[in-house]
Amino acid sequence: MTLDAAAVAAFRATLRGDVLQGGDAAYDATRKVWNEMVDKRPALIARCKGAADVLQAVRFAKTHGLLVSVRGGGHNVAGSAVCDGGLMIDCAAMKSVHVDPVARVARAEPGVTWADFNHETQAFGLATTGGVVSHTGIAGLTLGGGIGWLAGKFGYSCDNLRAADVVTAAGERVRASGEENPDLLWALRGGGGNFGVVTSFEFDLHPQPPMVYGGLVAWPFEAARDVLKFYAEICRDAPADLAVSAAILYTPDGHHVAALLAAWFGDAAEAEARLAPIRRFAAPLADMIGPLPYTALNMLFDAGNPFGVHRYWKSGYFATLSDELIDRIVEHATDTTSPQSAILFFRVDGACTRKESSATAFSLREPVWDFDIIAQWTNPAEADRHVGWARRFWRAVEPFSRGVYVNHLDSDDPSARVRAAYGDNYARLAALKTKWDPTNFFRVNNNIVPG
């Protein structure tokens, strides 16, 4: 779309931030997202500095009939933070976090990452459920659900979202809370970017001491089958204070390993005993369990997830890790096409499963494992090989899955999978979409279609 230069200049004058177009020095760096595969070219990028800028951007896009995408931390693997030919509303510079340690509430802007958030809240010995990679945005992660180290204790990130300020498709700013527009708050707790641009998130905070006990234990890949069976066993009766993830990955020095990543969030005096069974299970290649800062625990996965790498994901939930499923997983993990690729399991249980499915837009309230096939590579010419591996792998394990985490859908996942992610809540979400966004103005996302 060609935009009138005078209109763009007038738009620029309404913002505290700036407006970028192709050819501007910062344009290419700003349209880049975490997944290097994504190469979209918006007509305009509004680098917003506050809620007023977001309001102006939404109004400008409405007036000019522009497609809109919204960027928080830029981690959506399908690249939904950026769009071709439209207006990218870039909130990355909106970084403030205000903590009220007495009320135990944090108010954070949409450009905040979990590293920023944890830094501010840990100063007061507080935390909420966040993501396991520190450079992920609080915005997209929370709006799509939010699975993290503290989920077993405090529920999903979206369960801890107590209120939000939202710029709606009507170009107005509204508040969503238990008292004001509670239907909108319900929808924001899992419904993704479908209902407007959130300019302020209010989270419940919980006491979380700055030091925890945990880390990674790794065994040679040959032990993967036994490690995954052991993992399934320890998750079965694990208390909410124990969080354990599993992975099959390559270490930086080239060893193919099966690993458990564990942390204890209960009484510190019990920590060693609680993690001892994991450390004693067979002879590990590496045992890095010990005391570490909570902020560092939330960076354990950072090194394996840098910006600038090409990726493709397949994901789904498993209710059980049967021997047959584990056999298939190990078989396909054997054929990994890239040393940067990995598979991950995140356990969902405890507080996440103590609400009704209809309590929030995010509907998964049963104990499951979130399972992720993560293909990663650096040479763009190799895409077919690595994407092919992830697809073959997924085809082999899909029959064992039910449902999917909406935040882990990739660009070629069909819309039926978005519906599957919301289960019985989809119809209510579609009705709320009709109320809050009848023209599907916000559609560059895991889209809920008005209806």
Q: Match 């077993």 to its residue by tokens.
A: 152
- CA dihedral (384, 386, 387, 390) positive or negative: positive
Q: Given candidates 81, 99, 244, 409, which one binds ligand FAD under the rule CB under 6 A?
A: 81
Helix ranges (DSSP H) in 258-382: 271-280, 294-297, 323-334
Burial class (CB in 10 A: 0-12, 13-18, 19+), 26: exposed
Subset of residues 202 to 241 that bind ligand FAD, contact rule: CB under 6 A:
none
Q: Which stretch binds ligand FAD (CB under 6 A): 67-75, 249-257, 270-278, 377-385?
A: 67-75
Task: Tell me which stretch binds ligand FAD (CB under 6 A): 70-78, 392-400, 409-417, 424-432.
Answer: 70-78
Which residue, 285 or 359, has its beta carbon nearer to ligand FAD?
359
142 contacts 128 by C-beta, under 8 angstroms: no
58 lies in the binding site for ligand FAD (CB under 6 A): no
Stretch that binds ligand FAD, among 146-154, 237-245, 380-388, 431-439 (CB under 6 A): 146-154
Rule CB under 6 A: which of 305-364 touch ligand FAD? 305
Contact string (CB under 6 A) for ligand FAD, positions 420-449, x = contact: -------------------------x----
Q: Which is nearer to ligand FAD, 58 or 333 (CB)?
A: 58
Which residue type, as a one-letter code, is found at position 389?
W
Rg (CA), the chain: 22
- The answer to whether 147 contacts ligand FAD (rule: CB under 6 A) is yes
Cβ contact 138:72 at 8 Å: yes
Give yes or no for residue 403 binding ligand FAD (CB under 6 A): no
CB 450 within 8 A of CB 440: yes
Q: Comparing C-alpha atoms, which of 347, 335, 333, 338 is closest to residue 311?
A: 338
Nearer to ligand FAD, 118 or 284 (CB): 118
Nearest to 73 by CA among 168, 198, 178, 169: 198
CB of 243 to ligand FAD, least distance (A): 11
Instruction: List the x/- string, 95-134, binding to ligand FAD by CB under 6 A.
Output: ---------------x--------------------xxx-
Q: Of the candidates 198, 257, 368, 404, which one interacts with ligand FAD according to CB under 6 A?
A: 198
Taking the C-alpha atoms of residue 360 and residue 189, their distance in angstroms, rounded to an integer, is 6
- From 21-29, 66-74, 375-383, 429-437, span contacting ligand FAD (CB under 6 A): 66-74
User: Hey, which residues between 271 and 310 contact ligand FAD (CB under 6 A)?
Assistant: 305
For ligand FAD, the closer CB: 57 or 330: 57
One of 148, 152, 214, 284 touching ligand FAD (CB under 6 A)? 148
From the list 40, 47, 49, 75, which residue makes contact with ligand FAD (rule: CB under 6 A)? 75
Please choose, from the candidates 100, 171, 97, 87, the residue with its C-alpha nearest in 3D space to the C-alpha of residue 139: 97
The closest of 83, 7, 6, 77 to 40, measured between CA atoms, is 83
CA contacts within 13 A on the Cβ side of 92 = 21
For residue 6, the minimal CB distance to ligand FAD (Å) is: 29
Select 91 or 397, whichever has its Cβ closest to ligand FAD.
91
Nearest to 90 by CA among 68, 115, 107: 68
Nearest CB to ligand FAD, comparing residues 80 and 401: 80
Using CA atoms, how far residue 102 sits from 125, 204, 206, in Å, is: 12, 11, 11
Q: Is 301 helix (H, G, I), strand (E, B) or coil?
A: coil
CB atoms within 10 A of CB 9: 10
- Counting residues that bind ligand FAD (by CB under 6 A) gives 36
Question: Candidates 138-146, 272-280, 322-330, 375-383 — which segment interacts with ligand FAD by CB under 6 A?
Answer: 138-146
Binding flag, residue 200, ligand FAD (CB under 6 A): no
Is 173 near ligand FAD (CB under 6 A)? no
Cβ burial of 10 (10 Å; 0-12, 13-18, 19+) is exposed
Tokens 């800028």 belong to residue: 53
Tell me which of 17, 146, 214, 215 binds ligand FAD, using CB under 6 A.
146
Collapsed DSSP state (helix, strand, coil) of residue 445: coil
Residue with Cβ nearer ligand FAD (131 or 350): 131
Query: Around Cβ 20, how many Cβ atoms within 10 Å?
Result: 22
Nearer to ligand FAD, 240 or 437 (CB): 437
How far apart are the C-alpha atoms of 370 and 319, rounded to whole Å? 9
CA nearest to 193, candidates 31, 366, 347, 418: 418
CB 335 within 8 A of CB 229: no
Encoded one letter per residue, x for contact with ligand FAD by CB under 6 A and - for no contact, window 12-51 reads: ---------------------xx-----------------
The footprint of ligand FAD (CB under 6 A) covers: 33-34, 69-77, 80-81, 91, 110, 131-133, 136-137, 139-141, 143-148, 192-193, 197-198, 305, 407, 445
